[in-house]
Amino acid sequence: MKHYTALVFSAHAADFVWRCGGAIALHQARGYEVTIICLSYGERGESAKLWKQGNTTLAKVKKARREEAENAAEELGAHDIIFLDQGDYPLELDRESKYKIVDIIRKVHPDFMLSHSRFDPYNTDHMYTTEIALETRMIAQAWGHNPGERVLGAPQLYLFEPHQTEQMGWVPNVLLDITEVWDKKRKAIECMEGQVHLWNYYTNLAENRANHFRRNSGGQAGGRPAKYAEGFQAVFPRCVDEL
């Protein structure tokens, strides 16, 4: 019996929740083991609420964001969540850190991967994360990197939806019905107490993508009655036997 896995690249501790929490929960429910890599906690740039309270430190903010992300991952049923603590605003990785990610990729051996849009002028940490995802995917495929290890095949990389979609050149070509796991995603969203202002935004987005799912799956002629969905952009060709 084949063992299915997936790997999520999250620039900051909350990104995976907003953008692909439904995909994580759904695939876990289908028997996949989904591993999340958080490159940073988002402690400097995405924790304004905590900093505005005053009387805090970088260590305290990191701790709070880590706890939120761990609680969210638990709500989604994620197999594992890994924190690399590489700092944010800006996020920067050296060669050794990239090789650590390659080790994770080869260990997980994902059937597919998820990351951010390739362009994001509002948050360069996001598009840098996808550069890292592509680069480490390439290294993990190289037979000459740590010879003797099992090399990576060619997992699809899906780019999840950015915050201001129209500004990013991001166009979804995959729509995923997450209705059956929406309650899990909403609970995970509510774990992110440092960014309450985004809770309803991403609920509305899931409802809007469900509208697109219904339309593209048949509309009034018999489309699936999805209530919540997520959109993704596939980077590589999808190899099929039938259309």
Q: Quick one: pLDDT band at residue 220, thresholds 50, 70, 90?
A: confident
- Total domain count, the chain: 1
Strands 156-160 and 80-83, by their bridges, are: unpaired
Q: Write the pLDDT tens digit of every residue in 128-137.
A: 999 999 999 9
DSSP string, 42-65: -TTTS-HHHHHT-S--HHHHHHHH
- Residues near 202 by Cβ (< 8 Å), separated by ≥ 6? 18, 189
Q: Please indicate, yes or no, if residue 97 is contained in any of the structural domains.
A: yes
Other CB atoms within 10 A of residue 164 CB: 13
Q: Please indicate, yes or no, if residue 32 is contained in any of the structural domains.
A: yes
Q: 8 forms bridges with which residues in the sheet?
A: 36, 114
Class of residue 151 by CB neighbours under 10 A (exposed 0-12, middle 13-18, buried 19+): middle
Q: Please indicate, yes or no, if residue 89 is contained in any of the structural domains.
A: yes
pLDDT score of 222 = 81
Q: Write the pLDDT tens digit of every residue in 18-44.
A: 999 999 999 999 999 999 999 999 999
Q: Please indicate, yes or no, if residue 175 is contained in any of the structural domains.
A: yes
Strands 174-177 and 229-234, by their bridges, are: antiparallel
pTM across the whole model: 0.96
CB 72 within 8 A of CB 106: no
Q: Is the pLDDT of residue 221 over 80?
A: no
Beta strands in 201-240 (DSSP E): 229-234
Q: Please indicate, yes or no, if residue 223 is contained in any of the structural domains.
A: no
3-7: average pLDDT:
96
Q: Quick one: pLDDT band at residue 243, thresholds 50, 70, 90?
A: confident
CB 22 within 8 A of CB 115: no
Q: Please indicate, yes or no, if residue 239 is contained in any of the structural domains.
A: no
Q: 37 forms bridges with which residues in the sheet?
A: 9, 82
Q: Is 224 helix (H, G, I), strand (E, B) or coil?
A: coil
Q: Write the pLDDT tens digit of every residue in 193-219.
A: 988 999 999 999 999 999 999 999 998
Report residue 98 CA to chain centroid gap: 18
Q: Please indicate, yes or no, if residue 129 is contained in any of the structural domains.
A: yes
Mean pLDDT (the chain, rounded)? 96
CATH of the domain at 57: 3.40.50.10320
CB 206 within 8 A of CB 83: no
The fraction of the chain above a pLDDT of 90, given in percent, is: 93
135-145: average pLDDT:
98
Determine the structural domain holding residue 76 and report its residue range: 5-195+230-234
Q: Write the pLDDT tens digit of every residue in 73-97.
A: 999 999 999 999 999 999 999 999 9
Q: Please indicate, yes or no, if residue 201 is contained in any of the structural domains.
A: no
pLDDT score of 2 = 79
